[in-house]
Structure 1
């Protein structure tokens, strides 16, 4: 191994960045009372009332068992409700969940703005596109 083996390792650097951006996102979403992942779930539910739990998991790239746990958390906080429709569970925001949308959008904007400020707007957009594409390719291959 060379001197820069960690610097040259995609896995190491993606995880390092993940930890750093998670801290930033948690800071931005702190005032909402939700973790960034739960906040993203609620934002999707608010924007797509009646989305199935399966579709919600697919949109957020979250495993079915994990999505069930997260949906349960949002249900217990009375931010969404789960309604059975034949063979699938549909997710609807509650009035309480919808009332958080402005705060969620503000936190989202803060996160996007911080990324653009720290990395540069062009770098932030390019990195986001590259990571999205890489995620698609790796998910398809695994």
Structure 2
């Protein structure tokens, strides 16, 4: 049986997932020293940038489900990296002192990751690809029913 590879190279779903798996592996390697997955690191970055962010706002910014954010926040709270503070009916999320210290360390891992994929893809290609992926993600988000 002759399998035509065009289904693999022309399919956005397959190609984007293949790319995501490669980037995930690269990111996991870059963040291994932090003893924290890249996804959890991005939660810390968002909480740092928006102290007191609500869970709903965090979900919107990271495009994740509330149940996923609860799991992330619970784990980060167990590690004493974030804390929840209730105000009226809303719960706000803040970095702890340990979270703030780790945030500073995370910058070097982000730089390492950036440097690694730029060395492979090139700076211009990396920037164009990031822009196109972001714009496409926004278009798909708005186009959902």
Q: TM-score range by the shorter chain?
A: over 0.9
How far apart are residue 3 of structure 1 and its match?
Answer: 4.3
Match of 1:50 among 52, 57, 68: 52
How far apart are residue 85 of structure 1 and its match?
Answer: 1.2
CA offsets 1:72-119 (integer angstroms, 9 cap, x no match): 110111100011111111001000100112211111111111111110
Match of 2:21 among 19, 22, 38: 19
Query: 5 Å matches for 1:94-133?
Result: 94-133=96-135
For residue 91 of structure 1, give the secondary structure of its aligned residue in structure 2: strand
**Separation in structure 2 between the aligned mates of residue 3 and residue 52 of structure 1, nearest angstrom:** 45
**Separation in structure 1 between the aligned mates of residue 72 and residue 131 of structure 2, nearest angstrom:** 26
* Structure 2 unaligned residues grouped into runs of 5+: none
* Structure 1 unaligned residues grouped into runs of 5+: none
Match of 2:86 among 84, 87, 101: 84
**Separation in structure 2 between the aligned mates of residue 67 and residue 83 of structure 1, nearest angstrom:** 16
* TM-score between the two structures when normalised by the length of structure 1: 0.95
Length, aligned pairs only: 142
| 1:3–1:98 distance in 2 versus 1, CA, 3 Å | closer
| Runs of 4+ residues deviating >3 angstroms | none
CA offsets 1:24-82 (integer angstroms, 9 cap, x no match): 00001111111000011011112221111111111111111111111111011110001
